[in-house]
Structure 1
Amino acid sequence: MAGFEARTTTDDGYAVVRLVGECDLAVRDQFTSAVLAALDGAPCVVIDLADLRFMDSSGIHVLVVGHQTALERGHRLYVRNAGGAVARVLALTGLDDLLRPPVDGPGRAHE
């Protein structure tokens, strides 16, 4: 594994969790903790995937659990900036559409 990092910041009243490296079973707990902590601190969480090179089913599982947890709390979870293999995995699972941020809302591509 080439390394993984989850960095959480706030941006315009919502939390942004930026993932770096590769996301697999070895880092699932770290990713889960970052997502749940962000949901504890903000009603809207955006997972930024611009610097993520790889994601397997463990990462997909965390996104699904995060989405379900957000809905249970009346919150929202979105993903943005997926590219390459990560974008393909999201498209294959349908998460690219399910977790797409609104055009004029949090997480919009404005960078």
Structure 2
Amino acid sequence: MSITPVTDETFASEVVESDLPVVVDIWAAWCGPCKAIAPILDQLAVEYAGRVKIVKVDADANPDTVAAVGVTSIPTLGFYRAGKRVDALIGAHPKPAITAKIEELLA
């Protein structure tokens, strides 16, 4: 399973209306910590395929979504269940920390 790019226009359909729990990565091309966690998210998208959807929102290209979800620092990983953000991680975190949050999302 690959990571789905999400825009201001598709956020509601891809995240809020998703039947699966969703991890939303809000990132930017110039952000070093964002680049550091990208391979981890790629791995997790494969490991949790069919159970969790992982999407990316480019903060520079989608300011409406960034403002609407209250992100003030990137990278921010938002964890959504039934259309509501239930948790978040701000900054770069190691794979075990992200995996633990996904497991909580599935619990």
Question: TM-score, normalised to structure 1's length?
Answer: 0.30
Higher RCO by CA contacts (8 Å cutoff, separation 6 or greater): 2
Question: TM-score, normalised to structure 2's length?
Answer: 0.30
The structure where helix makes up a greater share of residues is 1
The structure where strand makes up a greater share of residues is 1
